[in-house]
């Protein structure tokens, strides 16, 4: 079955294509429109992009999975009185063009979206076959199933948390003995007349606004700032929240507006660092208490989490280290952009039943689900004036630049799905000097308060970072922080936060051979098994997608070079070839002086002792 899945919520709209259980393509609309966090409408560019990658037309789609999202008004079926109301608004010049389907369901006290959605009109106007099935997925179920599907556990707690979706901000599910029980957060709550105002993610967003940043976009800045402040406001924030007898986070706020007003008032006159530390502590404390309640109650040893709150890598670390669990997994597209994948998985669960669905689960190998421009990137640079192709092995040439203190972008293969750059559209640099954070952020017009993330080969991960069986899977996707081993903190200061932690990405050859090869060569040349990895984008722009965007970044001096699978490119006149020469770390050269290299099962790759 050819399945098109998309989410058209208020932000981070996205689309995905499935061939039965195989995820063929996935992309956020922002990468194509070049507008950060784009949403509040149907993501037609992303829809056509994933269909192109899959090799399908709209007429090839057998089923469409989506959420109760935002749609143009004429796709809704209203009562005659409501139809008259909207026509009157149009005549008076106040036409309403779109509505949120979840709000329509709540207003009418039902979770049956098919009562209000004109499926026949939607299919006919947009080139789909009339027999194409349309399936509406629950928002939090989509978050939850995207996380659970990419595990192989027999038992699990699946916990979601975000601003709000389908009338709620949390959901709890438990997988036990081949049963998947919805403990809290099913579709019946969509019909409830009053939404909840209990969201820690929303409270975090208002604290972000109080610090002068943009709500729903810059929460990560507060996560970085939180380690630099004191939690002086934590008690004031916490007095509005509690854990109910059934283990759920609840608040005394009468509305979301009231929550915002009170948090903004509490923050007045306080430093950004203390506001950040305070809201971080409250979010950590209450989420830990709620999740611990359900871990104990369900007697599970595995935790799958998703939803926008779990973009907070410090919360994820706390859960991994403070709970009695064997493994944690955070779906890499943890925010609403991941709901498209979850909607498709919801459709498959409804179609096949739980036993078949569970049998098809598989661990996530990588998130390279965008378009592959390897056939176009070299043509783009080859035709550009004032660009020079540098002869030599691309990984070796790139390593030479990195060893000399240059910062470059890797542009290879299919683009990543989700908010993290993971080696397909990444900027790389040496971690040996902390000031690379300031200089590179200045080049990218960024203001960040957390150091860049490190990327490390799988064979070196445990030597440098506090990687365990609990957090290893999550660390492959840069969704969790952990401690940096004390002996490495002064050697790789560019990726170590003030609290001695980092947010690593563990890389394997099979996932991205060019990425891994550069890492290996850099380690061999310097003794440092880590590189800086930050997303290939400038401030307030999405991560680079097309070759032309990559070329523009190099032209503007955002990076010093670009490495592809075929070549390295730099701006300006022809440059001499750079040859990689391995430097023994024990010789005293480079930042890795004093680190001897031992044997490895791969003769090409000596490993650290």
Average pLDDT estimate for 176-193: 93
302 in a structural domain: yes
Residue among 535, 465, 468 nearest 500 (CA)? 465
Please say whether the beta carbons of 314 and 497 come within 8 A.
Answer: no
Q: What pLDDT does 602 receive?
A: 44
If DSSP codes are grouped into helix, strand and coil, which group holds residue 541?
coil
pTM of the model: 0.93
Looking at per-residue pLDDT, the higher value among 540 and 279 belongs to 279
Do 419 and 529 sit in the same domain of this protein? yes
* DSSP track, 230-275: --TTHHHHHTTEEE-TTS-EEE--SSHHHHHHHHHHHHTTS-HHHH
The CATH number covering residue 435 comes to 3.90.870.20
**Is there a single domain that holds both residue 500 and residue 413?**
yes
User: How many domains does the chain contain in total?
Assistant: 3
Domain-located, residue 599? no
**Domain termination residue (choose one: 279, 309, 330):** 330
Return the number of other C-beta atoms located less than 10 Å from residue 397's C-beta.
Answer: 26
Give me the domain span that covers residue 73. 2-139
> Do residues 116 and 155 both lie within one domain?
no
The H or E element containing residue 37 is none
Contacts 24+ apart (CB under 8 A), 237-246: 237/203, 237/207, 237/263, 237/266, 237/278, 237/279, 237/282, 238/282, 238/285, 238/286, 240/203, 241/198, 241/200, 241/203, 241/282, 241/286, 243/286, 243/289, 243/290, 243/293, 246/184
- Residues 442 and 399 reside in one and the same domain: yes
Statement to judge: residues 106 and 197 lie in one domain: no
pLDDT at 573: 64
Exposure string of 533-570, with b = 16+ CB inside 10 Å and e = fewer, is bbbbbbeebbbbbbbebbbebbeeebbbbbbbeebbbb
384 and 408 housed in the same domain: yes
Does 599 have pLDDT greater than 60?
no
Tens-digit pLDDT profile for residues 265-280 = 999 999 999 999 999 9
Q: Coil, helix or strand for 477?
A: coil
The Cα angle at residue 103 between residues 99 and 105, in degrees rounded to 5:
115
Q: H-helix or E-strand containing 294?
A: helix 272-298
Q: From CA 280, how far away is CA 227, in angstroms rounded?
A: 9
In a shared domain, residues 109 and 156: no
Same domain, 302 and 385: no
Domain ends where: 139, 169, 204?
139
Domain co-membership, 129 together with 242? no
pLDDT at 574: 52
Q: Examine the domain organization and report whether 47 and 175 are in the same domain.
A: no
Residue 65 lies in a domain: yes
Say whether pLDDT at 287 is over 80.
Answer: yes
pLDDT of amino acid 95: 76
Query: How buried is 324 (Cβ within 10 angstroms: 0-12 exposed, 13-18 middle, 19+ buried)?
Result: exposed
Last residue of a domain, one of 330, 356, 380: 330
Residue 600 belongs to a domain = no
Residues 560 and 498 in one domain: yes
Whether 407 and 460 map to the same domain: the answer is: yes
346 in a domain, yes or no? no
Q: In this structure, what CATH number is given to the domain that contains residue 116?
A: 3.30.420.40
């Amino acid at each position: 079955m050819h399945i098109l899945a998309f989410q058209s919520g208020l932000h981070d709209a996205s689309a995905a294509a499935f061939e039965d259980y195989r995820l063929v393509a996935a992309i956020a609309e922002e990468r194509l429109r070049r507008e950060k966090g784009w949403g509040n409408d149907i993501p037609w560019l992303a829809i056509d992009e994933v269909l192109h990658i899959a090799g399908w037309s709209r007429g090839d789609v057998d089923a469409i999975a989506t959420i109760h999202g935002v749609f143009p008004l004429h796709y809704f079926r209203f009562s005659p009185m409501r139809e008259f109301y909207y026509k009157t608004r149009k005549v008076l010049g106040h036409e309403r063009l779109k509505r949120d389907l979840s709000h329509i369901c709540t207003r009418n006290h039902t979770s049956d979206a098919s009562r209000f959605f004109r499926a026949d009109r939607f299919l006919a106007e947009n080139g789909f076959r009339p027999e194409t099935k349309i399936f509406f997925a629950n928002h939090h179920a989509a978050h939850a199933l995207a996380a659970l599907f990419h595990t192989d556990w027999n038992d699990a707690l699946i916990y979601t948390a975000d601003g709000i979706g389908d009338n709620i901000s949390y959901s709890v599910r438990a997988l036990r003995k081949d049963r998947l029980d919805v403990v809290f957060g099913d579709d019946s709550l969509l019909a409830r007349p009053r939404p909840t105002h209990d969201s820690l993610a929303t409270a975090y967003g208002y604290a972000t606004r109080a610090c002068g940043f943009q709500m729903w976009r810059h929460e990560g800045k507060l996560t970085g700032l939180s380690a630099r402040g004191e939690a002086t406001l934590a008690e004031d924030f916490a007095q509005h929240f509690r854990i109910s007898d059934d283990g759920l986070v609840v608040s005394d706020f009468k509305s979301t507006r009231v929550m915002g007003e009170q948090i903004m008032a509490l923050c007045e006159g306080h430093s950004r660092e203390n506001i950040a530390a305070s809201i971080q502590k409250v979010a950590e404390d209450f989420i830990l208490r709620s999740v611990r309640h359900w871990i104990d109650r369900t007697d599970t040893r595995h935790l799958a989490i998703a939803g926008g709150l779990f973009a907070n890598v410090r919360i994820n670390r706390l859960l991994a280290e403070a709970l009695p669990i064997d493994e944690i997994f955070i779906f890499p597209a943890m925010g609403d952009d991941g709901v498209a994948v979850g909607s498709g998985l919801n459709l498959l669960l409804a179609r096949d039943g739980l036993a078949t669905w569970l049998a098809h689960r598989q661990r996530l190998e990588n998130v390279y689900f965008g378009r592959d421009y390897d056939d176009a990137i070299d043509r783009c640079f080859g035709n550009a004036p004032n660009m020079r192709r540098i002869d030599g092995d691309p990984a070796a040439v790139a390593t030479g630049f990195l060893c000399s203190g240059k910062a470059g972008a890797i542009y290879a293969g299919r683009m990543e799905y989700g908010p993290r750059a993971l080696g397909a559209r990444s900027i790389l640099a040496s971690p040996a000097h902390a000031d690379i954070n300031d200089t590179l952020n200045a080049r990218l017009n960024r203001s960040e308060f957390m150091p860049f993330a490190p990327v490390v080969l799988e064979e070196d991960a445990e030597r440098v970072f506090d990687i365990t069986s609990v957090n290893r899977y999550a660390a492959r996707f840069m969704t969790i922080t952990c401690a940096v081993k004390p002996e490495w903190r002064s050697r790789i200061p560019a990726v170590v936060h003030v609290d001695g932690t980092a947010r690593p990405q563990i890389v394997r050859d099979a996932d991205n051979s060019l990425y891994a090869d550069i890492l290996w060569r850099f380690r061999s040349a310097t003794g440092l098994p880590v590189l800086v990895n930050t997303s290939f984008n400038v401030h307030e722009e999405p991560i680079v997608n097309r070759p032309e965007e990559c070329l523009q970044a190099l032209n503007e001096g955002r990076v010093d070079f670009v490495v592809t699978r075929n070549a390295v490119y730099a701006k300006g006149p022809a440059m001499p070839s750079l040859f990689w020469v391995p430097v023994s770390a024990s010789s005293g050269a480079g930042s890795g002086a004093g680190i001897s290299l031992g044997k490895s099962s791969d003769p090409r790759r000596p490993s650290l002792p």
